[in-house]
Amino acid sequence: MSQHLLLLLVILAISPIPGAFQDSALSPTQEEPEDLDCGRPEPSARIVGGSDSQPGTWPWQVSLHHGGGHICGGSLIAPSWVLSAAHCFVTNGTLEPAAEWSAVLGVHSQDGPLDGAHVRAVAAILVPDNYSSVERGADVALLRLASPARLGPSVRPVCLPRASHRFAHGTACWATGWGDVQEEDPLPLPWVLQEVELRLLGEAACQCLYSRPGPFNLTFQLLPGMLCAGYPEGRRDTCQGDSGGPLVCEEGGRWFQAGITSFGFGCGRRNRPGVFTAVAPYEAWIREQVSGSDPGPAFPTQPPEAQSGLPEPMNENCTIALPECGKTRRPGAWPWEAQVMVPGSRPCYGALVSESWVLAPASCFPGHISSDRQPSDLDYWRVQLPSRPRAEQVARLVPHENASWDDASNLALLQLRAPVNLSAAPRPVCLPHPEHYFLPGSRCRLARWGRGEPAPGASSLLEAELLSAWWCHCLYGRQGASVPPPGEPPQALCPAYQEEEEEGSCWNYSHWSLLCREEGTWFLAGIRDFPSDCLRPRVFYPLQTHGPWISHVTRGAYLEDQLAWDWGPEGEETEAKTCPPHTENGACGLRPEPALMGVLWPWLAEVHVAGERVCAGILVAPGWVLAATHCVLRPGSTTVPYIEVYLGRGGASPLPQSHQVSRLVISIRLPRHLGLRPPLALLELSSRVEPSPSALPICLHPGGTPLGASCWVLGWKDPQDRVPVAAAVSILTPRLCHCLYQGLLPPGTLCVLYAEGQEDRCEVTSAPPLLCQTEGGSWVLVGMAVRGSRELFAATGPEEAWISQTVGEAPFLPPSGFPHWLTEGSDLCPPDMARASGSPRAALFLLLLTPLIQG
């Protein structure tokens, strides 16, 4: 005992600090006596992308159990010692009690009782002092077993490399474990030990891969003592649950443990190989911990033939893998388009997602959606893929379990009898991970899906730009619902088409998938397979929520990381936002900040009358614009002039033409006002304008000004440029308004007071509207300017009945607040008011001095 103590002191005195990755001063210069045979499995006979191992192939593999189940892997290095990873045993900086752990040795399948297996209690867990977290390195642990393992054909130690041992880059090594077979996808029963061949990557090559932004736009700095193994293209890797397990390489007929499974970014992702703790630098530390045990671990010298021919680490080239999915030479010629032919029905379209699997709507296979049995005529099913001489045969149909009742899950996977060779065509489409965030403005296209018919018109019609989640959700979602922030799967994806709906071309019964492009790579972003009137589909179900199901079934569909991270001004908004309440007729008055695609006022219309004057109109329903009568009809004239209406121009910077919408006015409707010429006119448009961020109806309010609203007059400073400007106003009480303009104003008139200095922000000639933003965030139209006035407005509230009857789907919000327009017979004015003569500011001053006011 005292001898051991002395030895320990000597070691401390001469050994380098643990974790300083140098050759240990303890490494014997001469061959040590080898009393333990290591790294030689009995001659016989997951790991991501791996396969079942044969019993006895990896006799040093240990399963470390905690709370009754497998948590981590380990390797037997001596009868009483198991090597593993520190992070398996350290939670929140504290080492878990050894007594809670047990080591299971010599197991192959973990299905069923392990009584017969070789189980050992853990007596001690040792972790380097400098271990803090996986990314900081030193992720190594030693477990001392309470009693030595019985060595036999299925329980044998692995060899450890000395500090001077060098493993050649590119060497094919093997990782083993019972970990997940894909991200979030546990190894299925019977839990057979998985093995995967991984290539050692040089430090420079690995750092080069990790320096390229990957998932979540992250990069990573590797540290000395870390080692990478895997492939730039990913697909084969260790995963959750493999940690602590060995990465072994064969040299001179023995297996040496080069690494300990430590961490990675996701599993099997492109340019993100697994990171291992290099074992060689820990020779001194290991020797120190196990000193005195007999027999201890074996550190055989590296066989000379393995030492020669090591490539120079410096001239390693940096091979970055590009996506293998989602490439096409020409948009529209989709190399993943799969035509599924089932006897007795029309062909159905799906998409190739891997070498062996096709994704298609489950509705292509009615009758098989909710049955567990395979279709009896499966032998006759065929899948035609681009550039394949013959149609493929089908081995299996796997419908989504919710396919029969949930439209968003109307999906099925078809396995081909034989995998196809991937090339330019066929080539699989890329699938998004659940956390994928397709940026607003992403370029997308429609592609055939299910029993889709060819699109009418030119293929350019299929181009679309993605709307922001906020718009999509608030236009088509549920009222008051909160919009998931970026990184959470969206509930819907909305394309905004480049061109307006073509007259006469009907898109009825067309089912589509939505492909969106990032950095030239196409992702299957959404599906839509029920008809939406006679229109192109406006809302798609996002596919990303199905990524885990698809990879679980296919084990190898091409899920690809997000490639575009240019968030733009929208990007900072990572909070969940709530949509303003909708009306019975859907979304109205939405105007998110910051403005999208440059549109500031999506309901502001330019009304061009007879080619001679232009005034402001407001979109109040998909086919109707409200304007001031004096603008659209000249006094005395009885003929309806030629009027054109433009939408999507209400921004500081003009939108691309493709987002502008123009319509002809086919009729002008006026309310019946006895004797008086009504100030408001409704213009009927030649066809509806589908709601979009560039053209969306405003909300209307029946009860005057909604409580707590802030109000603005919206007009043009320069009628030539027509750049909208908003001037802040407050709406005067009816009494004040009446008293100011005593006897002069018709009922239904509103008076406003401009905020300091805002009075002449916009021109009266544009007949500017008066808008208020409610506390709920919706914008409402309150009135339109009365001819030649800046302060007087014809209120829309009193015309609710006329507007509702004429328009049919006018977006009136529920009443709140109180009317601010003049009603007949309000008479009590302070005596001096008349003398204030039309100057609201002077009148207000007077009123503040007179204590009898309240309307």
Provide the binding-site residues for ligand ARG, judged by CB under 6 A: 179, 237-243, 261, 263-264, 267, 274
CB 205: neighbour CB atoms within 10 A? 21
Residue 257 or 510: which CB sits closer to ligand ARG?
A: 257
Task: Annotate 175-210 with DSSP letters as a single string.
Answer: EEES--SBTTBPPPTT-BPEEEEEEEE-HHHHHHHH
Helix, strand, or coil here: 546? helix
Closest distance between ligand ARG and the C-beta of residue 179, in Å?
5
CA distance 467 to 83: 52
Residue 237 or 690: which CB sits closer to ligand ARG?
A: 237
Catalytic residue among 53, 63, 84, 87: 87
Closest distance between ligand ARG and the C-beta of residue 440, in Å?
31
Contact 831, 759 (CB under 8 A): no
Select the residue whose beta carbon is closest to ligand ARG and give its number.
264
Residue 405 backbone phi and psi in degrees, to 5: -125, -15
CA distance 410 to 368: 12
Residue 105 or 228: which CB sits closer to ligand ARG?
A: 228
Helix, strand, or coil here: 799? helix
Active site (annotated) includes residue 243:
yes
Strand partners, 604: 618
Residue 237 or 337: which CB sits closer to ligand ARG?
A: 237
3-state secondary structure 327-351: CCCCCCCCCCEEEEECCCCCCEEEE
Residue 264 or 542: which CB sits closer to ligand ARG?
A: 264
Strand partners, 446: 514
Give the H/E segment covering residue 472.
Answer: helix 469-476
Residue 696 backbone phi and psi in degrees, to 5: -140, 135
As given in the structure block, the two tokens for residue 784 are 């339109």
Residues in contact with 334: Cβ distance below 8 Å, sequence separation at least 6, in sequence order: 328, 351, 386, 429, 447, 515, 522
DSSP state of 450: B
Q: Indicate the residue type of 349.
A: Y
Residue 106 or 241: which CB sits closer to ligand ARG?
A: 241
Catalytic residue among 75, 154, 243, 356: 243
Closest distance between ligand ARG and the C-beta of residue 186, in Å?
12
Helix, strand, or coil here: 802? helix
Contact 628, 607 (CB under 8 A): no
Give the H/E segment covering residue 3.
Answer: helix 2-14
Active site (annotated) includes residue 608:
no
Strand partners, 627: 617, 681
Closest distance between ligand ARG and the C-beta of residue 626, in Å?
60
Residue 259 or 399: which CB sits closer to ligand ARG?
A: 259
Active site (annotated) includes residue 262:
no
Closest distance between ligand ARG and the C-beta of residue 262, in Å?
6
Closest distance between ligand ARG and the C-beta of residue 285, in Å?
21
Task: Annotate 365-380 with DSSP letters as a single string.
Answer: STTSTT-SSPPTTGGG
Closest distance between ligand ARG and the C-beta of residue 263, in Å?
5
Closest distance between ligand ARG and the C-beta of residue 431, in Å?
19
Closest C-alpha among 231, 280, 240, 289 to residue 261: 240
Tell me the H-state helices in 679-799. Answer: 734-740
Residue 260 or 713: which CB sits closer to ligand ARG?
A: 260
Catalytic residue among 65, 102, 139, 356: 139
Closest distance between ligand ARG and the C-beta of residue 176, in Å?
13
Closest distance between ligand ARG and the C-beta of residue 234, in Å?
9
Residue 80 or 271: which CB sits closer to ligand ARG?
A: 271
CA distance 9 to 406: 69
As given in the structure block, the two tokens for residue 621 are 């329903």
Closest C-alpha among 258, 77, 277 to residue 157: 77
Residue 201 or 475: which CB sits closer to ligand ARG?
A: 201
Strand partners, 237: 48
CA distance 422 to 418: 12
For the four alpha carbons of 528, 532, 534 and 536, in that order, the dihedral sign comes to negative
CA distance 278 to 298: 17
Closest distance between ligand ARG and the C-beta of residue 512, in Å?
35
Closest distance between ligand ARG and the C-beta of residue 376, in Å?
42
CA distance 188 to 181: 8
Tell me the H-state helices in 344-476. Answer: 469-476
CA distance 38 to 83: 14
Residue 274 or 526: which CB sits closer to ligand ARG?
A: 274
Residue 336 backbone phi and psi in degrees, to 5: -105, 0
Contact 738, 829 (CB under 8 A): yes
Residue 237 or 518: which CB sits closer to ligand ARG?
A: 237
As given in the structure block, the two tokens for residue 440 are 């607003």
Closest distance between ligand ARG and the C-beta of residue 269, in Å?
8
As given in the structure block, the two tokens for residue 407 are 């439209």
Question: What is the strand order of the sheet 521-528 is part of?
Answer: 495-497, 463-466, 443-448, 512-518, 521-528, 541-542
Residue 179 or 691: which CB sits closer to ligand ARG?
A: 179
The helix-helix angle for 283-290 and 2-14 (nearest 10°) equals 160
Q: Indicate the residue type of 17.
A: I
Contact 464, 513 (CB under 8 A): no
Catalytically annotated residues: 87, 139, 243
